[in-house]
Amino acid sequence: MVRPPRLRNGDVLGLVAPAGFVADRFGLDEIGATVRAMGLKPRFAPHLTDRDGYLAGADEVRAHDLMTMFADDSVRAVMAVRGGWGTARLLPLLDFAAIRAKPKLFAGFSDNTALGLALARAGVMSIHGPTAATSWPAASWESFRQIAFEGAMPTYAVPVRDGTGLGGRGIGVKTFHGGKARGRLLGGNLAVLSALVGTPYLPDFDGAILFLEETNEAEYRIDRMLTQLALAGVLGKLAGVVFGQCTHCDNPDGGYSNFTVYEVLDRRFASLGIPAFQGLMIGHIAGQISVPQGAMAEIDADAGTLRLLEAAVA
């Protein structure tokens, strides 16, 4: 895996919209203020507010914006302004050999999983983490700063929730199968990842630690997507699994009328016989952490921790 250069104060950050558009120029003002607060200089792609249905312009336009940022020597790194849908449509239009020859750090999550996985397939590390338009609370900024600026290798732990009940009811980790494992971190949004199965843009998951996150998906859809990964042979190759947060994936009917999302995950991952747990701050949540796509890491499924073993940047 190629590690792109780290960010430094005063660097130019290229801002792109591989999927959805920014509603108006006032949104760009807010994004620019956020980037400047990071100590960076924002460079907006020309078509962030373009619209082609739910997309930020035609596929060729968005791909051209992205490749222009990767080719511009004055741009140090590239960040998506938001997710949505449409990033996978760009993959055949991108020159991954050129990106690998002059790698730059790319950051984004949700639909941007498609680009992060394709970059991993090309051998380039990236960050699965906040987009420029997200809220950036202190925990998210600190995680991104450590990974992208410092090249740090922190240990992330499932947070302990406040709880007053007996028996450790405030503990947030859900362990599906205990133990420790080492491997390369590969994953992202479950729906986007599963949709890349059968394409030439999915990396090899042999010996990998799969990390996942999802939002606004019913339990049966989570089950369906995980089943697809199992039938495609992806789950059988893994060394371990980390499921972050499944936001708004709770059973809408309540009671015992359905599997809970935790039952779905438990039934799927426990049977793999490899370390697997849920609860890290990965996904569509405030305070999400930055996960280096393609970096070596170690997980402890009993403790609910993920420890990076190499830096994501050079």
Q: Mark whether 99 and 161 lie in a shared domain.
A: no
Q: Mark whether 233 and 128 lie in a shared domain.
A: no
For residue 47, is pLDDT > 80? yes
From 110, 126, 140, 143, the catalytic residue: 110
Task: Answer yes or no: 140 catalytic.
Answer: no
From 47, 126, 213, 290, the catalytic residue: 213
What does the pLDDT look like over 248-291, one tens digit per residue?
Answer: 887 666 655 578 899 999 999 999 999 999 999 999 999 999 99
Domain stop point among 102, 123, 147: 147
The amino acid occupying position 240 is G
Q: In what order do the strands lie in the sheet with 155-157?
A: 155-157, 305-308, 296-300, 180-189, 209-215, 240-247, 276-278, 174-177
Read off the pLDDT of each residue in 14-33 and give the average, rounded to a whole number: 92
End-to-end C-alpha distance for the chain, whole angstroms: 11
Query: How many domains does the chain contain in total?
Result: 2
Burial class (CB in 10 A: 0-12, 13-18, 19+), 197: middle
- The pLDDT assigned to 35 comes to 97
Reference 106, options 72, 88, 80; nearest CA is 80
Is 309 or 48 the better-scoring residue by pLDDT? 309
Q: Mark whether 126 and 183 lie in a shared domain.
A: no
Read off the pLDDT of each residue in 203-214 and give the average, rounded to a whole number: 98
For residue 58, is pLDDT > 60? yes
- Residue 59 is assigned to a structural domain of this protein: yes
Average pLDDT, the chain: 94
For residue 138, is pLDDT > 70? yes
- The pLDDT assigned to 87 comes to 98
Reference 205, options 229, 179, 225, 175; nearest CA is 229
For residue 195, is pLDDT > 70? yes
Domain stop point among 115, 147, 179: 147
Q: Mark whether 89 and 205 lie in a shared domain.
A: no
Q: Mark whether 103 and 57 lie in a shared domain.
A: yes
Read off the pLDDT of each residue in 88-101 and give the average, rounded to a whole number: 98
Read off the pLDDT of each residue in 225-229 and give the average, rounded to a whole number: 97
Read off the pLDDT of each residue in 34-55 and give the average, rounded to a whole number: 94
Give the CATH number of the domain where residue 72 resides: 3.40.50.10740
Q: For residues 123 and 210, what is the distance between their CA atoms, to the nearest angstrom?
A: 17
Task: Answer yes or no: 213 catalytic.
Answer: yes
Q: Mark whether 284 and 256 lie in a shared domain.
A: yes
Is 97 or 167 the better-scoring residue by pLDDT? 97
Half-sphere exposure at residue 78, Cβ-oriented, CA atoms within 13 angstroms: 25
At 27, the pLDDT band (50, 70, 90 cuts) reads confident
- The pLDDT assigned to 253 comes to 65
What percentage of the chain exceeds 70 in pLDDT? 95
- Residue 294 is assigned to a structural domain of this protein: yes
For residue 68, is pLDDT > 70? yes
- Residue 270 is assigned to a structural domain of this protein: yes
Read off the pLDDT of each residue in 299-310 and give the average, rounded to a whole number: 97
- The pLDDT assigned to 249 comes to 86
Half-sphere exposure at residue 265, Cβ-oriented, CA atoms within 13 angstroms: 26
Q: Considering only 16-25, 77-86, 271-280, which range has the smallest mean pLDDT?
A: 16-25
Residues spanned by the domain of 140: 12-147
- The pLDDT assigned to 170 comes to 54
- The pLDDT assigned to 169 comes to 56
- Residue 5 is assigned to a structural domain of this protein: no
- The pLDDT assigned to 256 comes to 56
Q: Considering only 170-174, 198-202, 239-243, 292-296, which range has the smallest mean pLDDT?
A: 170-174
Task: Answer yes or no: 110 catalytic.
Answer: yes
Q: Mark whether 35 and 58 lie in a shared domain.
A: yes
From 126, 214, 284, 290, the catalytic residue: 284
